[in-house]
Structure 1
Amino acid sequence: MKAIVQDRYGSADVLRLADIDVPSAGAGQVLVQVRAAGVDPGVWHLMTGLPYPVRLGYGLRRPRSRVRGMDLAGVVAAVGPGVAGFNPGDEVFGTGAGSFAEYTVASAGRLAPKPATLSFAQAAAVPVSGQTALTAVRDAARVRPGQRVLVIGAGGGVGSYAVQLAKAAGAHVTGVCGPAKLDLVRGLGVDEVVDYTRADLPGRRYDAVIDTAGNRPLSRLRRVLAPKGTLVLVGGEARAGKWLQGFDRQLRALALSPWVGQRLVPLVAKESSDNLAALTELVDAGRLTPLVDRTWPLSGVPDAIRHLKGGHATGKAVIII
């Protein structure tokens, strides 16, 4: 089968299209013929091996797994021992290891039936970013009706879902984004939109702040947070460095949170069939719409990653296979 592989850590230049063997589904796994695969920041971290602690889990000198990609939407080709609820021919979406390929295997517990209302490309844009936003809004921020929620990076992959999920929860939502994304974020149903090139952050306070941008210090974020509010930190993409790349902000938040009235929560996203089912319910109800920025063929994965890392994506970049 065709797949995008890498034999060493580095920039998108280390990725190449190659022929490799089709994987087999083991116990509790599903073999999926991939029709579309999303591109998320986690792909860049595993490709570069940065920050360095990533290599503790994925290979010190070179990546143990040669194929990148996590988001997927496709068709079940085979099921492994102990798998119930999936059969060959079923259309599914979810996360698996190595989705930039014609076939990949995924844990049955991280797949769900593909929403019938979505194309494969749209469905592939949901799993990683959608579940990250769901964890941020529902589990970490615990958003309730009537609360005021600020989403920073509202036009990106996670931010666009966070805005919609907070609105679905009944909150008053303000989105922060750049001037090129103002109309798009307004179209997501926000109550207010802020152009960060003109006003950085609003002057009022919020019950919950969900920061997907990663480039503002904790002190600045806490000033727009209510005294008993919750700050959710999603990633640390905006800072350079080989060791922590902004994740030091998460560590400082953990250390500070017990000593202040505000909850400062570094996000740990949860991936599961149940979370995918919750997102599907909202999609089918017309309350959640995935935003596909651009699509590339399998051979275009390096360009898609460059596009994402350059901060150009509006919504999700998707690979069509």
Structure 2
Amino acid sequence: MRAIARDTYGSVDVLELRDVPQPVAGEGEVLVRVRAAGVDAGVWHLMTGLPYLLRLMGYGLRAPAVPVLGREVAGRVEAVGAGVTRFRPGDEVFGFCEGAFAEYVTAGEDRFAARPANLTAEQAAAVPLSAVTALQALRDAGRVRAGQRVLVIGAAGGVGTFAVQLAKTFGAHVTGVCSTTKTDLVRALGADDVLDYTREDYADGTRCFDLVLDTAGNARLSRLRRALTPRGTLVLVGGEGGGRWLGGTDRVLRALLLSPFVRQRLRGLFSAERGEDLEVLKELVEAGGVTPVVDRTYPLSELPDAIRRLRESRARGKVVITV
């Protein structure tokens, strides 16, 4: 089968379209013919092997343990392994996997859900990682409640576009922060207020929020805390910068260390790829409460261009690969 693979860590130049062995569904697994795969920020980190902490987490110290990138997928079930009861060949599914930038993938049946009836494969591929991350950040880490004032930083990004919509479904008053060219998108997603960070400062002291969700990953903790109410909650989703060893995780660690000594709740999110959350999102999507925002689609051979677009912060919502 065709796949985008690499043998070393590095820039997009290490990526190569090649033939690789087609996987076989093992016990409890399904084989999925990939229709589309989402491109998230983690793709760049796993491609480059940065920060180095990632390599210590099982992704390979000197070389990638898994040659094919991509962790979110939408496609058709082609075969099922022994013991699979939830799916059968022909079912359209979306979910989590390893090696999504390929023609076929396998993963446990608990890592998939039936594709929402009102989504295309391209839209469904934009959901798993980003929407589940937004859901867990708001519901689990943030403990969002109806009537709260929620600030979403990076509201036009992959996680941010879902966070704005999900916060509204929870009954919150939502303010989105984004660049000038993306304010119209964030308003269309349902944000009650939109701040253009090139013109307005969300931490200038004129407004405070019960929950701040930072998906942009580069603001100082002290600045983010100024935007919180005295007992508000800050949730950090990922992070950029911070050096080659820890990357943005150093900011999360500092937040966790500081939190016991202040009245505000400071949390870092390490999202879990849970199939039950896919089911929650499926229901919300089919009910019209959440709609994936697909910025642009690229064919499999143009994955390097897709990664560049995402890395340069030009995308509005999610970038998706079609296979």
TM-score class normalised by the smaller sequence = over 0.9
Question: How many angstroms does 1:13 deviate by?
Answer: 0.6
- Indicate the residue corresponding to 1:28 in structure 2: 28
CA RMSD, Structure 1 to Structure 2 (Å): 0.9
Q: Secondary structure at the match of 1:199?
A: coil
- Indicate the residue corresponding to 1:73 in structure 2: 74
- Indicate the residue corresponding to 2:249 in structure 1: 247
> After the TM superposition, which parts of structure 1 deviate over 6 Å for at least 4 consecutive aligned residues?
none
Superposition map of 1:44-193 within 5 A: 44-56=44-56, 57-193=58-194
- Indicate the residue corresponding to 1:258 in structure 2: 260
Question: How many angstroms does 1:84 deviate by?
Answer: 1.4
Structure 2 CA distance for aligned equivalents of residues 167 and 240 of structure 1 = 32
Aligned letter for 1:7? D
- Indicate the residue corresponding to 2:303 in structure 1: 301
Deviation per CA, 1:39-84, whole angstroms, max 9, x where unpaired? 0011111111000011121111100110000110000011122221
Structure 1 CA distance for aligned equivalents of residues 137 and 265 of structure 2 = 13
Aligned letter for 2:77? V
Superposition map of 1:219-238 within 5 A: 219-237=222-240
Structure 1 CA distance for aligned equivalents of residues 39 and 165 of structure 2 = 20
Superposition map of 1:281-320 within 5 A: 281-320=283-322
Any stretches of 5+ residues in structure 2 without a counterpart?
Answer: none
Structure 2 CA distance for aligned equivalents of residues 67 and 260 of structure 1 = 43
- Indicate the residue corresponding to 1:15 in structure 2: 15
Question: How many angstroms does 1:181 deviate by?
Answer: 0.2
Question: How many angstroms does 1:28 deviate by?
Answer: 2.0
Deviation per CA, 1:272-308, whole angstroms, max 9, x where unpaired? 2210111111111111010000000000111101111
TM-score by length of 1: 0.98
Any stretches of 5+ residues in structure 1 without a counterpart?
Answer: none
Structure 1 CA distance for aligned equivalents of residues 246 and 101 of structure 2 = 26
Asked whether the 8 Å contact 2:242–2:250 carries over to 1, the reply is no
Question: How many angstroms does 1:183 deviate by?
Answer: 0.2
Aligned letter for 1:209? V
Aligned letter for 1:170? G
Asked whether the 8 Å contact 2:242–2:249 carries over to 1, the reply is no
Q: Secondary structure at the match of 1:198?
A: coil
TM-score by length of 2: 0.97
Q: Name whichever of 171-180 and 223-232 sits farther off.
A: 223-232
Counting matched residue pairs gives: 320
Q: Secondary structure at the match of 1:151?
A: strand
Question: How many angstroms does 1:199 deviate by?
Answer: 1.0
Q: Name whichever of 263-272 and 160-169 sits farther off.
A: 263-272
Calculate percent identity across the aligned residue pairs: 63
Deviation per CA, 1:236-278, whole angstroms, max 9, x where unpaired? 12x1621122221001001001111111110011222210111
Q: Aligned to 2:274, which of 272, 275, 278? A: 272
Structure 2 CA distance for aligned equivalents of residues 240 and 180 of structure 1 = 27
